[in-house]
Amino acid sequence: MSAPASRYRGRFAPSPTGPLHFGSLVSALASWLDARAHDGAWLVRVEDIDGPRTVPGAAQDILATLEHFGFHADEPPVWQSARIGLYREALDALIASGHVYPCGCTRKEIADSQLHAHRRNTTLIYPGTCRDGLHGKTARAWRLRVPDDLAHAAQGADNPALIRFDDRWQGPQQQDLANEVGDFVLLRADGQWAYQLAVVVDDAAQDITHIVRGADLLDSTARQIWLQQCLNVPTPTYLHVPVVTNAEGEKLSKQTGAQPLDASRPLDALLAAAKHLGLDLRDPTPASLVAFQADAIEAWKRRLTHLPA
């Protein structure tokens, strides 16, 4: 266990884009078990800043489902939509320290530039056009500079753009921000705060020490660690659990047709989530949520001893 038990603070941070489904239940269960196994605090944060994707009523529905499934947060939930002032303050600090710059490029211009550069999956890697000024364009978004690796290439020194971290489930990870990601957006052209900024600011403001979430977010972690360094806030430890996929191998989500959880049978869904996490429960047919929880906490502790340090 990497942090003193009394300091552990974990969280579950759902985006209210629809009701809780089996994939998000797995993340909720893993984060809750890890907090309980460490005798720590477990918080819930509603990540509702992405206006167009937020579904009215979904947040209340998720919070009610969590309670119904036996997940009781140790502090009242916080809502990102009520915390915009914190994101503004963080951006202002990054402007003052020169870590961010205004960008006037449209998506089309960035896409066109990729003909001469490279592309990662479907993510456009920003070529840095506005790094040294707007070239007469109007500012649309704010981007965070990632370290460039020129010094590394020239001198064979350590690549400053290479972010490494040890994931408690997935093992050692690394990502070259300059070549695999590029300068990324913190405040979007449509005025929306980017997930990367909000999540880092909130995890720091809430003193989160341990992040446990789905492995679909593994790819965002290096960006978040770099942003923590730019903001001079601590880096939590990370644990990314395997994502749940559907028959086509796609991550379960509202977009891929995930069904809402059956609220009448919480234990069935929890047992399936525990199985997905590879938990070796002593009692496969628990009589109550409380019995399941006690068994699952011990199974989680046993499971962690078999994971990379």
User: Is residue 10 a contact residue for ligand GLU (CB under 6 A)?
Assistant: no
Minimum CB distance to ligand GLU, residue 21 (Å): 11
Question: x/- string (CB under 6 A) for ligand GLU, residues 40-79?
Answer: -------x--------------------------------
User: Is residue 15 a contact residue for ligand GLU (CB under 6 A)?
Assistant: yes
Mapping DSSP to helix (H, G, I), strand (E, B) and coil, where does residue 225 land?
A: helix
**10 Cβ contact partners less than 8 Å away, ≥ 6 residues apart:** 31, 32, 34, 35, 38, 40, 41, 42, 43, 208, 209, 210, 211, 212
Of 36 and 213, nearer to ligand GLU (C-beta) is 213
Count of residues interacting with ligand GLU (CB under 6 A): 7
Of 68 and 254, nearer to ligand GLU (C-beta) is 254
Of 14 and 128, nearer to ligand GLU (C-beta) is 14
Site for ligand GLU in 211-250 (CB under 6 A): 213, 217
DSSP secondary structure string, 67-113?
Answer: HHTT---SS--EEGGG-HHHHHHHHHHHHHTT-EEEE---HHHHHHH
- Rounded to whole angstroms, the Cα distance separating 278 from 36 reads 18
Of 13 and 299, nearer to ligand GLU (C-beta) is 13
Point out which span in 12-20, 65-73, 93-101, 130-138 binds ligand GLU (CB under 6 A): 12-20
Angle between helices 218-231 and 195-205 (to 10 degrees): 60
Of 257 and 284, nearer to ligand GLU (C-beta) is 257
Q: In what order do the strands lie in the sheet with 141-144?
A: 100-103, 141-144, 184-187
- Rounded to whole angstroms, the Cα distance separating 100 from 122 reads 24
Site for ligand GLU in 160-199 (CB under 6 A): 199
User: Is residue 202 a contact residue for ligand GLU (CB under 6 A)?
Assistant: no
Minimum CB distance to ligand GLU, residue 75 (Å): 17
Of 24 and 293, nearer to ligand GLU (C-beta) is 24
Contact 52, 17 (CB under 8 A): no
Question: Residue 132: CA atoms inside 13 Å, Cβ hemisphere, count?
Answer: 1
Minimum CB distance to ligand GLU, residue 133 (Å): 33
Specify the pairing of strand 210-214 against strand 9-12: parallel
Of 144 and 199, nearer to ligand GLU (C-beta) is 199
Of 13, 29, 181, 274, which lies in the binding site for ligand GLU, with binding defined by CB under 6 A?
13
Of 8, 10, 14, 273, which lies in the binding site for ligand GLU, with binding defined by CB under 6 A?
14
Q: Which residues of 119-128 are buried (b: 16+ CB within 10 A; e: fewer)?
A: eeeeebbbbb
Angle between helices 266-276 and 22-37 (to 10 degrees): 80
Residues that bind ligand GLU (CB under 6 A): 13-15, 47, 199, 213, 217
